[in-house]
Amino acid sequence: MSVAASTTLERVEKLIALSASDREEEARTSAMLACKLIREHKLKVVGGFLPFPIPVIKMKPSADRRVMIAKFDGSCRCCQGAYRKGDRIAWSIAQGPIHLSCNGGAR
């Protein structure tokens, strides 16, 4: 692998890691830039292995959290487990979607 390719992969990895930021604008911009680099360099994203750990975010119960029906498939921000469209989840703007069992006593 060339030095340029290695540098590009490192940038993509760092941008993907930043896309998990608590700061919404930073997360959105990082994800967009990672996608742009992947398209420009015609990289292939393969599942099953990530060269960096995905952070597990421990959630605390929150008064602004709402129990709702998931509109899309997704993953819990607390345990990283999957949930499906139609499942009941807890959600807040600040913390995102989590399983009701991870919520510590949803309303």
Q: Domain for residue 88, yes or no?
A: yes
- Fill in the amino acid letter for 29: T
Q: What is the mean pLDDT of residues 69-78?
A: 87
Q: Domain for residue 49, yes or no?
A: no
Length of the chain: 107
Q: What is the mean pLDDT of residues 86-104?
A: 79
pLDDT for residue 104 is more than 50:
no
Report field, pTM of the whole predicted structure over 0.75: no
Q: Which residue has the higher pLDDT, 106 or 23?
A: 23
- Structural domain count of the chain: 2
H or E, element range at 3 = helix 3-18
What phi-psi label fits residue 96: left (phi over 0), alpha (psi between -120 and 50 degrees) or beta?
left
Q: Domain for residue 58, yes or no?
A: no
pLDDT given at position 80: 82
Per DSSP, the residues of 14-33 read: HHHHHTT-SSHHHHHHHHHH
- List the 66-69 sheet strands across, edge first: 66-69, 88-92, 96-99
At 12, give phi and psi (nearest 5°).
Answer: -60, -45
Q: Which domain holds residue 70?
A: 66-102
Strand 96-99 versus strand 88-92 pairing type: antiparallel
pLDDT for residue 102 is more than 50:
yes
